[in-house]
Amino acid sequence: MKRNTQKVNQKIIDILLSRDFEDVVTDLGITIETSSYVHGEYDWITTFLAMDIIHAKKFSELVKTTYPDTFQKIDLVETLFDLKRQNILNPDANQLKEII
């Protein structure tokens, strides 16, 4: 997610820090794994689990409505294959040859 250039208002900051948003998305069947404020082309990266792409898109839309005027751009990227996750190597890494 890329923020716009406006200062984030206190209400939005309070929502982010309270983690109340996690309770809302849980009802959609979404599990947030990580949520990070970052430096670079984007300002925020959230990794989450969803049942399918439809639910992932609902999550993206919910971010837009929950944090209005905060993000100018949200890109949805799907992980197809993990070589390493949480410092654990994928034991089926050789299957990546078939995918690529």
48-80 pLDDT, tens digit each: 999 999 999 999 999 998 888 899 999 999 999
Structural domain count of the chain? 1
Host domain of residue 34: 2-99
Instruction: Express each pLDDT in 2-27 by its tens digit.
Output: 999 888 888 888 888 887 888 888 88
85: which DSSP letter?
E
How far is Cα 78 from Cα 76, in angstroms, rounded to an integer? Answer: 7
**pLDDT for 83:** 93
**pLDDT for 76:** 96
Query: Quick one: tokens of 68?
Result: 């209005």
**pLDDT for 100:** 86
Q: Report the Cα 30 to chain-centroid distance in Å.
A: 10
**pLDDT for 18:** 82
**Of the candidates 14, 29, 36, 38, which has an alpha carbon nearest to the alpha carbon of residue 62?**
29
User: Cβ neighbours of residue 95 under 8 Å, at least 6 residues apart?
Assistant: 81
